[in-house]
Amino acid sequence: MIRLVWHTVRARKGSLVGTFVALTLGVALLAAMALTLVSSVGGGGGRPTWYVDADVVVAGGGTVSVTTGSGEDRETASLRTATARGLPSGLRDRLAGLDASLVLDFAAYATAPGAPGDTVRPWSAAALHAYGWVAGGPPRGARDVVLSAPTAHRPGAEITVVTGRGVERFVVSGVLRTDAPAALYTADAVAEELADGRVAAVALNAPGTGPAGASTPAVMSLADAARAVVGDTALEDGSVQVLTGDDRRRAEPDPDAERRTEAVALLAATTGLAGFVSIFVVSGTFAYAVTARRHEFGLLRAAGATPRQVFRIVLGEALTVGVLASLAGGALGAAIAPDFAARLARTGFVPSDFTARFVFWPVAAAFGTGLGVALLGAWVAARRAGRVRPVEALRDAAVDRRPMTTARALAGLLALGCCVPLVAVLVANPSADAVALIIITALFLIVACAMFAPLVVPPLVSLLSAPLSGSSGAVGLLAGHGARAAVLRTAATAAPILVTVGIAGSTLTGLGTLQAATQNAARERITAEALTIPLTGKGLPDASVAALREVPGVSAAVPVTESRVYVRDGDEPEGWTGYYASGADLAAVLDVPLVAGSLADLAGTDTVAVPEGRWELGETAELWLGDSTPARLRVVAVFERQLDLSETVLLPSRLRDRHALPVADVVYLRLAPDASLEQVRAAAAAGAGTVVDTGSYLSAAGEEEARVNRQASVAMLGLSLVYTGIAIANTLVMATRDRAWEFATIRLAGATRRQVLWVVGTEAVLVTCIGVLLAAVVTAVTALGAHHGLADIAPSVPLAVPWAPLAGIVLTCLVTAVLASVIPAALLLRRRPAELAGVRE
């Protein structure tokens, strides 16, 4: 038996190489994605970068948490916010009584053209981390500022600084270089004034301690003393935190928190897609490799081999190839994961310092998945090969007489059945998030199409080859007959094309349709003629808004600040979008479709406007503001749950004072017919802003969204599509190498070498067309599903099919399929027909 297995391995080197390549690359893809995903979870830790030289840091809370259960069943789900709340008033004075040196750290919005950073800090906070002078020295007066390198400004230069108070003039007193986050340093009193007295943190150092961050008895004693001053209540409710060691990092702003959360979601989707593609391709490749050997198994059965022996031969080969290929794939995946992470960092989807670290269990999971799928694919096909009687096996080798098995039909029906609840959820809960279910639905549809392919291949081949039969003569006739006779081979070779075009089509069309619907919703929502946006930095101060309101012809200038807010979603907090604005003025510049209440009541510091379906008018909405401050707000208006408003709340502008950046992101302008646009632009420029018309603003925003979507598509689909492209070539090479006896028969019947190659190439075109047609069905169904899911929450939903990228993908599949078929066939046809006829045996 061992000699027999060895003989079959040597005789089937091409087939085994094909399965080895498919499995190696599949495991590599899965391992690389899993390592990148694991590396993205729990990021944001590490050593502090700002409070490096502080023993103990007392800071406001920066986490929102939901706790459920009690006792041993108590569970807490938490989210870290991008900014932390300020310390309670009076705590700074109580901490000053401790036996420790103390630094009050303030943080306020400030930005200067040509200088990095968007936060002003007190000069005393510079002692909390190492720095070196590039030029100049510390601030001496109220108008002095120290900048972080790199900057072109030099000491003595007068610069414009945009702060929360307005546009101000400062003189550069020095430039320093540091590994800490870039900032603008002013005199302590100036920083406190700009921060409106809001203390970001208090840094404490115990007398006579060693390097900061060390857990010495003196540091631990100081931390305990600080906790006693803070009190148990503030510590337990999370409003204040006392931090030592690496935990001091939690007191530092985390501007990448939101990006990191989005990266985890993107990588989870990417890993899921990679897992599906790997399993689909590997199982199909192994199943086809076994199915293609039915003639060999017929000979073995005729020679006396039992079904059990045939079964053991197949599984033995699959186990050997599976172990070796999975090991190689795991190593390859670990090698390419850092490069993939670096590419993600360059696109901006993850923080710039993101890296993929090696973790054993994701690689082990990829190894086990690859090996298990390979054995399962071989096992299913081997059971059929081992069950048939010898005479039936020999007869079955000539043509696919029963390509549609019961197991295959059940698998197809199961895949279709899985689509039903997904569609039901989409219909019952139309939203942008529900549209993500379309992609999952597409994957099940792809499986269903692949399973039922043997049923549709014959009629599709007849339909596609009918024009060829008349125009191409024997070539078209032979190509069509070969594709119809070998149904399983045609279905197996069309499957990688189906998954490549199907995934690309459904994903790109879904994202494009969502983007187009979102842009249309924004165009319908904004009624302002023009907008003022920051010329540099992130916002416009109130003084700039007031100046715009003074311009003749400006009937409304409505500042809006976007922020993150958090609501409870079951057992965990969920991030929503909050907009701070004056409710009484919003109606002049935005069309908010109300179903109850009035935006005029959106005032004070205890009101909120919410989407329908979550709260009722007059109820109290409990949520957290962007700095983790809990808020209980009275619902004064309820608006329709539209695409751009489904997870959005409107907050009164006075509540913006609790926001870390109390400036406007954008100012919507309602202009009278006699308004002077030049005067409006001059007022905006004086306030560090620029005026753009609404159409141009929305077009630029749409282009930016399209750019982000393209990058997201490349990140999510790139490696998977490369893998499926390789799988197309790999499967067709395997199929072509197994047709030596067929090619010899055609040659002996009088066909020339060129005619045989034309037959092979024509059949590759037919296979590609079948895969593309099945993928078109998947894309059409998912596109209609996306349209239906968005129709009730958007004013208009145009189907956005990216024809150019899809045409490029289809053309690539076609070229790959033809080359992967013709080149191996050409190599085989270099032999004499009589010699070629003996290859199969």
User: pLDDT band at 181, cuts 50/70/90?
Assistant: very high
In sequence order, the β-bridge partners of residue 177 are 132
CB-based contact 532:681 (threshold 8 Å): no
647-699 residue pLDDT tens: 899 999 888 876 656 789 999 999 998 888 899 999 999 989 999 999 888 88
**What does residue 671 show for φ and ψ, rounded to 5 degrees?**
-110, 135
Nearest of 768, 742, 720 to residue 839 by alpha carbon = 742
* Residue 675 Cα distances to 526, 672, 678, 696, angstroms: 19, 5, 9, 19
**What does residue 701 show for φ and ψ, rounded to 5 degrees?**
-65, -40
d(CA 257, CA 123) in angstroms, rounded, equals 27
108-158 residue pLDDT tens: 999 999 999 999 999 999 999 999 999 999 999 999 999 999 999 999 999
Indicate whether 838 pLDDT > 80: no
Indicate whether 476 pLDDT > 80: no
**Cα Rg of the chain, angstroms:** 33
Helix (H) or strand (E) holding 775: helix 753-791
For residues 466 and 185, the model is more confident at: 185
d(CA 428, CA 420) in angstroms, rounded, equals 12
For residues 211 and 178, the model is more confident at: 178
Q: What does the mean pLDDT of the chain come to?
A: 85
164-173, 224-233, 821-830: least confidently modelled range: 821-830
Indicate whether 11 pLDDT > 60: no
CB-based contact 493:284 (threshold 8 Å): no
- Over residues 484-504, mean pLDDT: 85
Helices then strands, each counted (H, E), the chain: 23, 23
Indicate whether 261 pLDDT > 50: yes
Indicate whether 523 pLDDT > 50: yes
d(CA 340, CA 32) in angstroms, rounded, equals 8
User: pLDDT band at 386, cuts 50/70/90?
Assistant: low
Nearest of 378, 440, 389 to residue 415 by alpha carbon = 440
d(CA 513, CA 706) in angstroms, rounded, equals 11
CB-based contact 167:687 (threshold 8 Å): yes
- Over residues 71-96, mean pLDDT: 85
275-279, 286-290, 398-402: least confidently modelled range: 398-402
Given this model, what pLDDT does residue 471 score? 55
* Residue 457 Cα distances to 207, 250, 648, angstroms: 82, 60, 49
Indicate whether 470 pLDDT > 70: no
262-276, 354-368, 813-827: least confidently modelled range: 262-276
Q: Please give the span between the terminal C-alpha atoms of the chain, in angstroms, as a whole number.
A: 19
CB-based contact 182:116 (threshold 8 Å): yes
11-18 long-range contacts (CB < 8 A, ≥24 apart) are: 11/296, 12/293, 12/296, 14/733, 14/734, 14/737, 14/738, 15/289, 15/292, 15/293, 15/734, 15/737, 15/738, 16/289, 16/317, 16/321, 18/285, 18/289, 18/730, 18/731, 18/733, 18/734
Given this model, what pLDDT does residue 777 score? 93
Identity of residue 135: A
- Over residues 442-456, mean pLDDT: 90
Indicate whether 397 pLDDT > 60: no
Indicate whether 568 pLDDT > 50: yes
- Over residues 594-616, mean pLDDT: 92
Given this model, what pLDDT does residue 841 score? 46
Given this model, what pLDDT does residue 702 score? 83
User: pLDDT band at 385, cuts 50/70/90?
Assistant: low
Given this model, what pLDDT does residue 423 score? 75
Using H for helix, E for strand and C for coil, what is the string for 24-66?
Answer: HHHHHHHHHHHHHHHHHCCCCCCCCCCCCCCCEEEEECCEEEE
632-658 residue pLDDT tens: 999 999 999 888 888 899 999 888 876
- Over residues 421-438, mean pLDDT: 70
pTM: 0.82
Domain boundaries along the sequence of the chain: 1-44+261-398, 56-257, 423-526+699-841, 537-687
User: pLDDT band at 829, cuts 50/70/90?
Assistant: confident
Indicate whether 725 pLDDT > 90: no
Given this model, what pLDDT does residue 428 score? 66
CB-based contact 114:106 (threshold 8 Å): no
388-394 long-range contacts (CB < 8 A, ≥24 apart) are: 388/298, 388/301, 389/301, 390/298, 390/301, 390/302, 391/302, 393/294, 393/295, 393/297, 393/298, 393/301, 393/302, 394/295, 394/298, 394/299, 394/302
Tokens of 292: 């293609």
Percent of the residues in the chain that have a pLDDT greater than 70, as a whole number: 89
